[in-house]
Structure 1
Amino acid sequence: DGFAFPSNVGGWNPQILPSNPLRGNKCWGIASISPLGLLDKEEKKKAIKSEDLFIDGDNFSSGDFLVQDSSTATLGNPNLLVGKSFDDRAGVAVLIKILGELSDDLEIDVYGVATVQEEVGARGAGVAAYKLDPDLGLVLEVALADDVPMNEPHTPVVRLGKGPAITVKDASMISHPGLTDFLIKVAKEREIPHQLEILERGGTDAGRIHISREGVPSSVIGIPTRYLHSPVEVLDLRDLERAVELVTSALEGLTKPKFEAFFQTS
């Protein structure tokens, strides 16, 4: 009948999907739910669940993968970008820029990895960490920017335009204190605006990297981003530039004695 019934891949919020266009390699459609005019009062009060969704479109085949069909634009301010999948295209963009700017005279070896399937179990990061067996793990991610109106007064933890966020802890990992202190010290010495993030729910690839083999000291540098897991994520380009500066400076300044100091207790 031209309808398809989706299965969730990753952390999509089903409440934002109705009326959104979706596309695959050879198909296109609109996510929808039953018309509100056909629902009773109690049904209208219920939150939309993934099983309530269907896709109205054409040329679907069983097993097709669909993504949000949206474009990227500036949001008034030329530094503010709105678009899809900044989580985690932003991290990959920062990684590429860092690898292009790093000095050839580093005292350490640096491996850059663009992982897969982070949203369904950080599977690519687990494989990469096991193969590379690194001494240190630094994940380039987005950070949940909560500087938006809420139902109740609150103090935002992470704000757009205030610099990259250094993760203290999230639901999957506690960042290595020595590495966290080192990143903060570099940011202060270089006068790079930065923030600290504590995330009660959710995690990143660092959650798998830090428990690889005998364990890997790990942390996360996040690009503040609003409206995560939606087709209209928003970030500030200046935060990406500062993340590049912070990580590049940290890697170029990392020596064996400084690394060993991570594990010294006072």
Structure 2
Amino acid sequence: MLLETLSNASGVSGYEGDIRSIIKEVIEKYVDDIIIDKMGNVIAHKKGNGTKVIIDAHMDEVGFIITGYNEDGTLRFYPLGKINSKVPPAKVVFIGENKITGVIGIKPIHLQSKEEKGRSMSYSEYCIDIGSNSKDETKEVVRLGDYAVFDTKFGDFGRGLVKGKAFDDRIGCCILAEILKEDFQCDIYGVFNVQEEVGERGAYISSFTVKPDIGIVLEGTVCADMPNIPKYKRGTEIGNGPAISIMDESSLFSSQIFADIIKVANEKSIPYQLRRSVTGGNDGGAIHMSGEGAKVATISVPCRYIHSSVSVASLEDYQNTCKLVIEYIRTLG
């Protein structure tokens, strides 16, 4: 399964090379040409007529970058993308291309002061322990600027669910790869962007290059269907189908496209839900503001525990998102 391969691979912002290689190999026989631009975005073109459409997913995941050495051989680090500082302690990570194993260390609870126990720790109070005895020993195997990712492995989880890391947005990349296998009348650019988690940087470049009429963003989005969260605060819920966004912090999505997508879902009996949260943002903000602008929409797969060491998603939601996007694009001439 492509999602398993991509979830287990490493590709934090700025270090998407492994993901790019996997995706290029999967899609190249289904598209007319592929461009890898200077930023590292993959722009795959399926030639058609009329409406020019970008279908977008980002390759990068949240993770960490190594910023310094401590005298005892442990490492200082900083997040790449938004990871709540409560998430990292005691997690196992892989560092760099050689996948050096590390454990994110924190002062034990029984040694913390009353003040420390009452607040969230900061990244400056953590370290990554690789089992080294000295700074010099660590320098032999880890370089400043190396990335680190959680070591979570993909797997089945309950009935019809899967768990793994980086579903934001490897799940979108998988949907886009499936879409590119289909034939359409309109002019399709499947764009796998870099550096979304640090400010949609890749999308600004690729969308300026393509200059689309429409941009469809595929995402793994926040899901909060947990027992301690009231229903009205649950932005999306697993099992209720793809989530269609109205707006977020970076975009006010096209009401016309929004209505057309819902019409297709109803006509094809594809379950869907409205994303009831406006927090966060994605590549849509870059796409609709680049060049002369474009109409944009976002369709997402709900993912529990997003931007942490593990996410959970429904395979049925994934499949229905594929169906909905394919059927909508077929309406575009």
TM over 0.5: yes
2:319 partner SS:
helix
The one-letter amino acid paired with 2:117 is: K
Partner of 2:78: 7
2:245 partner SS:
strand
Gaps of 5+ in 2: 1-71, 133-140
| Correspondent of 1:63 among 145, 148, 167 | 145
The one-letter amino acid paired with 2:230 is: P
Residue deviations 1:133-181 (CA, integer Å, cap 9, x gap)? 001000000121111122x533333111111001101111111110101
The one-letter amino acid paired with 2:283 is: D
Structure 2 counterparts to residues 67-106 of structure 1, below 5 A: 67-77=149-159, 79-100=160-181, 102-103=182-183, 106=184
TM-score normalised by L of structure 1: 0.91
| Correspondent of 2:106 among 25, 33, 51 | 33
CA RMSD, Structure 1 to Structure 2 (Å): 1.2
In the alignment, is the contact (CA less than 8 A) between 2:211 and 2:293 conserved in 1?
no
TM-score normalised by L of structure 2: 0.73
In the alignment, is the contact (CA less than 8 A) between 2:236 and 2:276 conserved in 1?
no
Gaps of 5+ in 1: 256-266
Partner of 1:177: 255
| Correspondent of 1:51 among 124, 146, 164 | 124
1:112 partner SS:
strand
Count residues with an aligned counterpart: 250
Distance 2:324 2:292 in 1: 28
Distance 2:295 2:126 in 1: 41
2:301 partner SS:
strand
Partner of 1:153: 230
In the alignment, is the contact (CA less than 8 A) between 2:301 and 2:321 conserved in 1?
yes
In the alignment, is the contact (CA less than 8 A) between 1:170 and 1:198 conserved in 2?
no
Distance 2:116 2:324 in 1: 50
| Correspondent of 1:111 among 189, 196, 199 | 189
In the alignment, is the contact (CA less than 8 A) between 2:216 and 2:299 conserved in 1?
yes
* Ranges of 4+ aligned residues in structure 1 off by more than 6 Å: none
Deviation (angstroms), 1:23: 0.6
Distance 2:155 2:185 in 1: 40
The one-letter amino acid paired with 2:177 is: I
In the alignment, is the contact (CA less than 8 A) between 1:162 and 1:194 conserved in 2?
yes
Structure 2 counterparts to residues 188-199 of structure 1, below 5 A: 188-199=266-277
1:242 partner SS:
helix
Distance 1:200 1:51 in 2: 30
Distance 2:235 2:119 in 1: 30
